[in-house]
Amino acid sequence: MKLINPIKTCFIISAFFTAQVLAEISIVQTKFGTYKGADVTQYQMQNSQGMQLKIMNYGATLTSLKIPDKTGNIDQISTGFNQFKSYFSDEYNDNNPYFGGVVGRYASFLKNGRFSREDQTYQLSKNAGEHHLHGGQQGLDKRMWQLKKFYKTQDAAILQLRIYSPEGQEGYPGNLSVVVEYQLTQSNEIRVRYLATTDKTTPLSLTHHAYFNLNGFTDKVLDHQVQINSSAYLQPNAENIVDGTLAKVKGTAADFNQPTMLKDAFKTLKSGFEHYYVFDNPKGDLKPVATISHQNSGRSLQVLTTEPGGLLYTGRYTSDKLAREDGTQYGQYKAFCFETSKYPNGPNIKNSPRTYLTPGEIYDETTVFRFAW
């Protein structure tokens, strides 16, 4: 009779169960803080590849994203904080960088905080000089969202949050109901889907304001390579307001149709990028629009979206005083955003695509952040 080695058997069983655990996807919730007497909850999602995503229900905000590099080392690659109170520090609020929030009702600038439709003019709140920015003083990123559902499947951890915005909030017409769904998949994707309905025609442009740094904040993002599928961007004026005028990228520093290092583009455009690129996507299909990569870490991010365009922002105005509690330093050019959305200032631009949501319609847009290493 062949004797069984109990130590070897124990090791095999342990390895089997470890593999089973790693193969599963998980989602757990913890208390993250308190806001106006209500508990702020943080949801942690993890897949078997080592990706770990944290979302809090205040602002439906991404607070943390950790992913491996090509050698297996896991690093923090998103801006955010480990404590809820840090989102209210003087440094954060003076700079107001919208770290990780779901922005709305209308992303980016609305000139003079005003738009007209069907012979009626609507005056919105002004929170950026004479203009309206990212939904106003109390945009969706600065309000508590409610849990609709969180669960997991074999392929993804899924979180659904919802919020109600009453008519007149920040000056907007219509009662608006919004659901955002986050999925962390086994394919290393963060899928962000927005669903919304209204009882009165209202402008609506939701975006995700996550900031990423694929080198894990060891340096600025100038060592990132960028490729964007776009032939034109919306030309801004001196106040960074667009009027629908297209500027061709060919032959300029803003041309990323071929992969280009940011440090090379910065040689010409030293202030960095805050450009809204227009995509050729009239049907609103889910299409790849950009790839951003970092050679030394092996990390890359591919962005897919149904939106008509997206804004590349390289963090020109991010304060150097901002840092995560563990010492991870943020600051100017230390992270980038790729904010997919409707046209900035869309209600004031003739024929801007899908700017308004009307009663009976369902707003349904998706952006996918697909990571690899």
What is the SS3 assignment for 293-309?
EECCCCEEEEEEECCCE
Residue-level pLDDT at 18? 36
- 10 belongs to a structural domain: no
Provide the token pair at 137. 């003083």
Overall number of domains in the chain: 1
Taking only the tens place, the pLDDT of each residue in 84-135 is 999 999 999 999 999 999 999 999 999 999 999 999 999 999 999 999 999 9
The per-type count for the chain, helices as H runs and strands as E runs, is 3, 27
- 214 belongs to a structural domain: yes
- 87 belongs to a structural domain: yes
Asked whether residue 14 carries a pLDDT value surpassing 90, the answer given is no
Asked whether residue 167 carries a pLDDT value surpassing 70, the answer given is yes
What is residue 6's DSSP assignment? Answer: H
Range of the domain at 196: 26-372
CA 131 to chain centre: 22
- 11 belongs to a structural domain: no
Query: Catalytic residues, which ones?
Result: 209, 339
Nearest by Cα to 289 from 274, 316, 271, 309: 309
Residue-level pLDDT at 23? 56
Q: Side chain identity at 118, as an amino acid letter?
A: E
Whether the ω angle into residue 105 lies within 30 degrees of 0, i.e. cis, is yes
CATH code for the domain of 283: 2.70.98.10
Provide the token pair at 263. 């440090």
- 354 belongs to a structural domain: yes
Residue-level pLDDT at 24? 87
- 259 belongs to a structural domain: yes
- 12 belongs to a structural domain: no
Q: Side chain identity at 139, as an amino acid letter?
A: G
The mean predicted confidence, pLDDT, of the chain is 94
CA 63 to chain centre: 11
- 8 belongs to a structural domain: no
Taking only the tens place, the pLDDT of each residue in 307-358 is 999 999 999 999 999 999 999 999 999 999 999 999 999 999 999 999 999 9
The predicted model gives 287-307 an average pLDDT of 98
Taking only the tens place, the pLDDT of each residue in 53-71 is 999 999 999 999 999 999 9
Taking only the tens place, the pLDDT of each residue in 94-105 is 999 999 999 999
